[in-house]
Every structure is written in structure tokens, then in C-alpha cells.
Amino acid sequence: MVAILTTLFGLLLLTFIIGRMIPADPVISILGDNFDQAAYDRVYRELGLDRPVPEQFLTYVQNILHLDFGQSNVTRNPVAADLARVFPATLELAVLAIFIGTLLGVPLGIASAVRRGTWVDHLGRVVGLLGYSTPIFWLGTMVILIFYARLGWIPGGGRIDLYNDGLVEGPTGMLILDALMAREWEVLRSALHHIAAPALLLGYAAMAYLSRMSRSFMLEQLNQEYILTARAKGLGQRPIVWKHAFRNIRVQLLTVVTLAFCGLLDGAVLIETVFGWPGLGQYLTAALFYADMNAVLGSVLLIGLISILINLLTDVVYRFVDPRTR
């Protein structure tokens, strides 16, 4: 708990410092280009910028604890309301992507380790290298040019077709889940059609990382003495791999899956911009473009808080996966 509170305090301090160091005047962002000195001074005092820096930081922390991230200069809405509106789209995309990445990457990495030096191993390493080294925004651009502009297989952008927009407004904000609960199959089909390309690209990036790490973990276990003993006793390959070696890499795999998921929340900034996905990434990009610092800092804080919560949840899951950590 002390480590979590320290991390949270460091995150708040870092975002506060970034907000003060970026050369963007928040008063001008609010007033625009046409203002007089009296109006400038009034807004300057309202924002508390005339107070000492330590007092400004304490006020900043108090506001964050009350979920007050300020007002967006672009949408003119509270940043907290904007984040509640756009974050479910990013969460939906990241969850589907990590599911794809884990489902494909972990078996591929294990197969590469078990069949080390064969064509399966070489294929896995090439797939991982390409996914690890190719910029995801370039892949997204190529997918749009080929499968949208030339072939017309995927939609141009957004989360859903215009004629289905607004038909489902569920409690979660995630269209796929809300459409399933409402049994709106046409909305579900449209949502899956729109999310397929960005989720597959993000899932491929996660798969490249997870396959590489899975291969490394499994190779380390297959070279252990207990594996050699099991083979000497005549135990088959499948029980050795899945009942012995895999059991000993579950905690490591859980760690890298967690890291990959947190990375997807960051990487979604690029892929959402390319595909016009109305999530946190696109919101953050627009806020940076218009120097909307309240929206920028709120988005960064949300990503940091989610990462802290995910790591906390992972520590809890460790106790069930590996009894030695209890």
C-alpha cells in the first residue's frame, strides 16, 4: 500500500510539473486571442496562478481527489465527463486486443520454444520481430489504404455505422457488451466490423511481445533439471510442457500480459488517431494539438491510475495462481 501511495503521489507531482513547464498559457487558451489585461488578470487569479507553487500543488491534489480535472478548453465540458465518455471505447479496444494477443502469442511462443530450431521457431521469431519493430501507425495506414481505400473490406473509421449510432446506450459505454446485453444484433455486427481492424493491429503488437517473452520463459524451464528428470522417466512431451513447464511460467506470463495491456492503453493513442476511433487516444491527441492542458493532464492521470490499479489487481491474482506468493 505504501508503494501504491508513493507511486500515486509521484504521478500527481509529475503531471503538475509537466503542466507548469509546457510553454502554453492556460489563460490565453481560455480567453482566445481577443482580450484585455483586466480580463487576463481576472482569469489568472481564478485559476490560482497568482498563489505560491506549493499552494497550487495542494489545490491540484485536492481537486484530483474530488475527481475534478478542470474544464476542457475545447469541448467546454468538465474533463471528468469527457474522460467518462471516451475511456470505455479505449478500454473495449484494449481488452479485445489483449485477448487476441494472448490467445495467439502465448501458444506461438511456447510452440517456438518446444520446437526450437525448426520452421515453427523461425516463423514465430519472424512474426515477433516484425510486430516488435514495425511502427504501428504505419501498419494502420497501410491497412486503411489497402483494405478500405482499395478493397472496401473495412469501414473508414469510428465505432459504428451512422444509422446504428445511438440505438444502444448501455451502462458500460462499451458497444459490444452493451449490444449483447440489449440483444441488438445489427448494432453488434456493426460494432464488430468497425473494431476488427484496430483490434487486430493492436493485438498483433501484443502478440509479438507475448510470443517473444513466452518463448524465453519456456526455454528457461525446458532446460531445468526437473524437466530432464521427467524425460528420463519416460513422461510424454505434452505433459512435460503443459503440466510441468507451463505451470512454472504462469506468474511470469501474468506479469507480461499485464505490462502488455498497460502498453496497449498507451499505444491506442496512435491507432485511434489513424482509425478515427473516438477513444481516449484521439481525445488526448486533440487536446495536445489545441494545448488543452486540463484534458492532457486528466488523460495522463487516468492512464497512470488505471496502470496502478491493474498492477494492484495482478498482485492479488498472483496469490491464487501461485500459492508460494501468499
Q: Which fold has domain 79-325?
A: MetI-like fold (1.10.3720)
Burial class (CB in 10 A: 0-12, 13-18, 19+), 93: buried
Task: Quote the pLDDT of residue 322.
Answer: 65
Quick check: 30 pLDDT over 80? no
More confident residue, 185 or 166: 185
Q: Which residues of 140-177 are buried (b: 16+ CB within 10 A; e: fewer)?
A: beebbeeebeeeeebbebebbeeebeeebeeeebbbbb
Q: Calculate mean pLDDT across residues 54-68.
A: 80
Beta bridge partners of 71: 78
C-beta pairs of 189-193 under 8 Å, 24+ apart in sequence: 190/160, 190/161, 190/164, 191/159, 191/160, 193/154, 193/155, 193/161
Task: Quote the pLDDT of residue 32.
Answer: 67
Task: Quote the pLDDT of residue 242.
Answer: 82
Quick check: 87 pLDDT over 80? yes
Quick check: 323 pLDDT over 70? no
pLDDT, tens only, 90-123: 888 989 999 999 999 999 988 888 888 888 888 8
Task: Quote the pLDDT of residue 267.
Answer: 65
Quick check: 214 pLDDT over 80? yes
Most confident range, picked from 130-144, 151-165, 200-214: 200-214
Rounded Cα distance between 285 and 36, Å, is: 30
pLDDT, tens only, 238-286: 888 888 788 888 888 888 888 888 888 766 777 888 888 888 888 888 8
Average pLDDT, the chain: 81
State the pLDDT confidence band at 147, using cuts at 50, 70 and 90. confident
Where are the domains positioned within the chain? Answer: 2-65, 79-325
- What predicted TM-score, i.e. pTM, was given to this entire model? 0.82
Task: Quote the pLDDT of residue 24.
Answer: 66
* Amino acid making up residue 192: L
More confident residue, 65 or 166: 65
Quick check: 326 pLDDT over 70? no
Residue 312 in grid coordinates? 494492484
Task: Quote the pLDDT of residue 324.
Answer: 62
Task: Quote the pLDDT of residue 99.
Answer: 92
